[in-house]
């Protein structure tokens, strides 16, 4: 039928050409051969072997506007999209005998272009309430997440969750830091009598976060497919590990507890002292079972020659004066919070006499002041096994971790409590809390079920009412959400206020 129709058109066109121009004189065999050539050319163009041309160009005849529109609907336009479709068709043909038409491929490639413009803003969250930068996900950034599906009659592109899962398993986004491990190489002898034992390690064990690959892949695939602009993705916190390569039996060295603080806004000298105190003095201290950890014994000489800088310190309860090593109380406070979270017996500790904004985050009212020769921070290791102290900083975040062998104790903290929100029955030496005091209730539960309660008290010369009111509101919000407890295995404390 098609050959007959083309043959008829050619006969008509030949008659017209003879009538207008006697130079054109085609015999019937020539017309038949011309028809076969036209059909072959159209087939090759459809398969992408030769460029497709309009019917007018093939026939070499005059085409009216009405016929031109009809031809355009049936021909393959010579556009970039269709050229891309022809190339794709040739690639597909190398792997299969049956391929979709160029029109189907062009339509699929058009849909692919639309998908490549889609992006979603992913808000990352974790149970320890750490803040993460927003993760921007787009198919333009990850084009391999698209998969083509081809059949003899159709062609499509879709967001493939299996491809996303495979990609994320090997390439976690840079916004999500995985946990890092430390290798314990050897145990060092104390530098001098009265100095603590130390260990040599390769690296510092840091907590990180695991991305739930399967759930993340499903969420991202659905979001990009349906064009969602924003989604929330929960992460799983994970502790860094201590790998003992020293051949000394130090126990399991699992994470017992963590302490955190924030020294953002400190002056340069104070920042340098905090970083030095964490990474050079407190980090890698080893506390044998039954022994007492002394913060001051970890410091060494606090002199400019030893690399310490001047920063403000508190004297006589309410005077601020420059002092070499100013800011070491930030390190002591971070260690103290790890002690409290681990439920270890504290033998010496004193809160600051002045209210200090640096200690609000991660435990308002849980701070410790030290001064060599006058005030110290100490605790006893009653776990029956070694405790390894690791300390580090990330930006302005200070972290102290205790690693050891758990004896099964669990620790929970309730607070902070003020006169405005103190529970009934909370007294200090048979009296109520004063307006300048903050209290926490520490509950320690042993492996045998025995429970102990301790009241942690901090008293300041002055406690701003606005600060108290804000923390009372934070406490009420947390209580309503049933988040008033933190266990020793968790890397955070209850209060996470940002007042500074």
Q: What is the DSSP string of 188-207?
A: EPPSSTTPPEEEEEES--B-
Count of CB atoms situated within 10 Å of the CB of 143: 11
Q: Between the CA of residue 76 and those of 40, 85, 168, 177, what are the distances in Å?
A: 16, 11, 40, 51
Backbone angles phi, psi at 199, to 5 degrees: -125, 160
Residues 6+ apart with CB under 8 A from 329: 313, 352, 367, 368, 369, 370
CA distance 250 to 368: 29
Backbone angles phi, psi at 396, to 5 degrees: -110, 20
CA distance 302 to 328: 10
CA proximity to 279, closest of 197, 180, 204, 372? 204
In terms of pLDDT, which residue wins out, 14 or 187? 187
Lowest mean pLDDT among 359-368, 408-417, 469-478: 469-478
CA distance 165 to 212: 9
Q: What is the mean pLDDT of residues 471-498?
A: 53
CA proximity to 331, closest of 264, 392, 277? 277
pLDDT of residue 225: 92
Given a cut of 60, is residue 11 above it in pLDDT?
no
Sign of CA dihedral 491, 495, 496, 498: negative
Arithmetic mean of pLDDT over the chain: 82
pLDDT category, 241, cuts 50, 70, 90? very high
Given a cut of 90, is residue 430 above it in pLDDT?
no
* Length reported for the chain: 500
The rounded percent of the chain whose pLDDT value lies above 70 is 79
Could you tell me if 440 and 415 are in contact, meaning their C-beta atoms sit under 8 angstroms apart? yes
pLDDT of residue 369: 92
CA distance 467 to 122: 33
Interstrand relation of 254-262 and 397-404 (parallel, antiparallel or unpaired): antiparallel
**Tokens of residue 27, six digits:** 């015999």
The residue assigned the tokens 């206020």 is 497
**213-226 and 161-170 helices cross at what angle (nearest 10)?**
130
Give the 3-state secondary structure of residue 260. Answer: strand
Q: What is the dihedral of CA 174, 175, 179, 181, to 10 degrees?
A: 40
Digit-coded pLDDT (tens) for 372-385: 888 999 999 999 99
**Tokens of residue 51, six digits:** 């460029």
Backbone angles phi, psi at 201, to 5 degrees: -130, 160
In terms of pLDDT, which residue wins out, 127 or 118? 118
Given a cut of 70, is residue 417 above it in pLDDT?
yes
Q: What is the mean pLDDT of residues 242-257?
A: 94
Q: What is the mean pLDDT of residues 463-489?
A: 70
CA distance 120 to 141: 11
CA proximity to 202, closest of 283, 317, 314? 283
Backbone angles phi, psi at 315, to 5 degrees: -125, 145
Digit-coded pLDDT (tens) for 30-67: 656 665 655 565 554 444 444 444 333 433 444 455 55
Could you tell me if 246 and 184 are in contact, meaning their C-beta atoms sit under 8 angstroms apart? yes
Digit-coded pLDDT (tens) for 133-152: 888 999 999 999 999 988 88
DSSP 371: B
pLDDT category, 411, cuts 50, 70, 90? very high
CA distance 14 to 39: 18
Helix residue ranges, H only, 75-184: 80-93, 102-116, 161-170
CA proximity to 248, closest of 192, 197, 193? 197
DSSP 327: T
Given a cut of 70, is residue 333 above it in pLDDT?
yes
Is the pTM value of this prediction over 0.85? no
Given a cut of 80, is residue 341 above it in pLDDT?
yes
Digit-coded pLDDT (tens) for 273-294: 999 999 999 999 999 999 999 9
CA distance 76 to 57: 13
Could you tell me if 262 and 398 are in contact, meaning their C-beta atoms sit under 8 angstroms apart? yes
Task: Measure the N-to-C terminal CA separation of the chain; round to a whole number of Å.
Answer: 85
Lowest mean pLDDT among 69-73, 359-363, 372-376, 442-446: 69-73
Lowest mean pLDDT among 38-47, 86-95, 260-269: 38-47
Report, in angstroms and rounded to the nearest whole number, the Rg of the chain calculated over CA atoms: 37
Given a cut of 50, is residue 492 above it in pLDDT?
no
CA distance 198 to 438: 35
CA distance 15 to 204: 92
Neighbour order of strands in the sheet with 242-244 = 242-244, 182-188, 197-202, 285-287, 387-394, 397-404, 254-262
pLDDT category, 308, cuts 50, 70, 90? confident
Could you tell me if 289 and 312 are in contact, meaning their C-beta atoms sit under 8 angstroms apart? no
Q: What is the dihedral of CA 246, 252, 257, 258, to 10 degrees?
A: 30
pLDDT of residue 162: 94
CA proximity to 83, closest of 109, 57, 58, 114? 109
pLDDT of residue 14: 53
Q: What is the mean pLDDT of residues 223-252?
A: 92
């Amino acid at each position: 039928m098609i050959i007959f129709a083309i043959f008829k058109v050619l006969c008509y066109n030949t008659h017209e050409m003879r009538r207008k121009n006697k130079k054109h004189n085609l015999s019937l065999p020539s017309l038949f051969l011309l028809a076969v050539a036209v059909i072959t050319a159209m087939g090759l163009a459809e398969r992408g072997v030769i460029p497709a041309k309009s019917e007018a160009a093939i026939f070499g005849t005059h085409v009216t506007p009405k016929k031109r529109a009809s031809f355009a609907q049936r021909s393959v336009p010579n556009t970039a999209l269709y050229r891309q479709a022809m190339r794709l068709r040739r690639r597909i043909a190398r792997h299969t005998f049956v391929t979709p038409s160029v029109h189907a491929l062009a339509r699929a490639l058009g849909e692919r272009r639309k998908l490549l413009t889609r992006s979603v803003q992913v808000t990352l969250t974790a149970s320890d309430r750490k803040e993460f930068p927003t993760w921007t996900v787009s198919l333009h950034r990850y084009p391999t997440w698209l998969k083509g599906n081809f059949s003899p009659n159709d062609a499509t592109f879709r967001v493939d969750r299996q491809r996303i899962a495979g990609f994320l398993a090997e390439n976690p986004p840079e916004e999500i830091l995985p946990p890092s491990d430390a290798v314990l190489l050897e145990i060092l002898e104390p530098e001098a009598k009265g100095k603590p034992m130390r260990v040599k390690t390769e690296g510092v064990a840091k907590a990180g976060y695991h991305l739930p690959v399967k759930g993340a892949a499903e969420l991202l695939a659905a979001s990009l497919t349906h064009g969602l602009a924003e989604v929330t993705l929960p992460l799983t916190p994970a502790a860094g590990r201590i790998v003992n390569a020293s051949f000394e039996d130090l126990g399991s060295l699992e994470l017992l507890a963590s302490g955190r603080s924030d020294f953002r806004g400190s002056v340069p000298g104070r920042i340098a002292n905090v970083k030095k105190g964490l990474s050079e003095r407190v980090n890698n201290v080893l506390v044998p079972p039954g022994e007492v950890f002394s913060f001051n014994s970890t410091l060494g000489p606090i002199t400019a020659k030893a690399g310490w800088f001047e920063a403000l310190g508190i004297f006589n309860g309410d005077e601020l004066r420059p002092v070499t090593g100013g800011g070491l109380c930030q390190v002591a406070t971070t260690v103290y919070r790890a002690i409290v979270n681990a439920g270890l017996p504290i033998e010496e500790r004193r809160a600051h006499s002045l209210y200090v904004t640096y200690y609000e985050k991660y435990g308002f009212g849980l701070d410790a002041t030290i001064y060599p020769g006058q005030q110290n921070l100490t605790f006893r290791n009653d776990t029956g096994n070694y405790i390894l102290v690791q300390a580090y900083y990330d930006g302005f975040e200070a972290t102290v971790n205790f690693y050891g062998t758990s004896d099964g104790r669990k620790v929970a903290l309730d607070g902070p409590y003020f006169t405005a929100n103190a529970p009934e029955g909370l007294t200090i030496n048979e009296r109520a809390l004063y307006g300048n005091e903050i209290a926490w209730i520490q509950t320690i539960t042993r492996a045998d079920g025995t429970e102990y309660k301790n009241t942690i008290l901090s008293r300041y010369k002055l406690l701003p009412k606005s600060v108290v009111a804000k923390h009372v509101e934070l406490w009420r919000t947390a209580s309503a959400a049933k988040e008033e407890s933190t266990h020793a295995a968790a890397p955070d404390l209850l209060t996470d206020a940002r007042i500074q």
